[in-house]
Amino acid sequence: MQLDKIRGRELDQLFQAILNLETLEECYIFFDDLCTVNEIKAMAVRLEVARMLQEGYTYHQIEQETGASTATISRVKRCLNYGTQGYQLALDKLKKMKRYDKA
């Protein structure tokens, strides 16, 4: 895993802080201070690209709908196919959450 190279107290602290946020509003507040708007947008777009790739969208469709470059789409696809399954984990949890929200 790439993050193993930088694993340590500071990264643990960051992830613990994120895990301890309880609401969307708390996330908005924290990430507003932590990241630039462009950094947050880039992360959100990557997750959306992953979702769209899993649902069978073409590169062209993804590019049109998200504005992501083909390089970004390729990188996300490589992570989906050969990565640590982080996108899959997050998307599965979102799907599960949405099922319970509808119930």
- pLDDT tops 70 at residue 37: yes
pLDDT band at 102 (very low <50, low <70, confident <90, very high): low
pLDDT at residue 100 in the model = 65
CB 53 within 8 A of CB 76: yes
For 62-98, how does the pLDDT look when each residue is reduced to its tens digit (9 = 90+)?
999 999 999 999 999 999 999 999 999 999 999 998 8
pLDDT band at 41 (very low <50, low <70, confident <90, very high): very high
For 6-33, how does the pLDDT look when each residue is reduced to its tens digit (9 = 90+)?
999 999 999 999 999 999 999 999 999 9
| 65 SS3 class | helix
pLDDT at residue 19 in the model = 97
Distance between CA 39 and CA 34 in Å, rounded? 10
**Torsion angle (degrees, nearest 10) of CA 87, 93, 95, 99:** 180
Distance between CA 86 and CA 88 in Å, rounded? 5
- pLDDT tops 60 at residue 4: yes
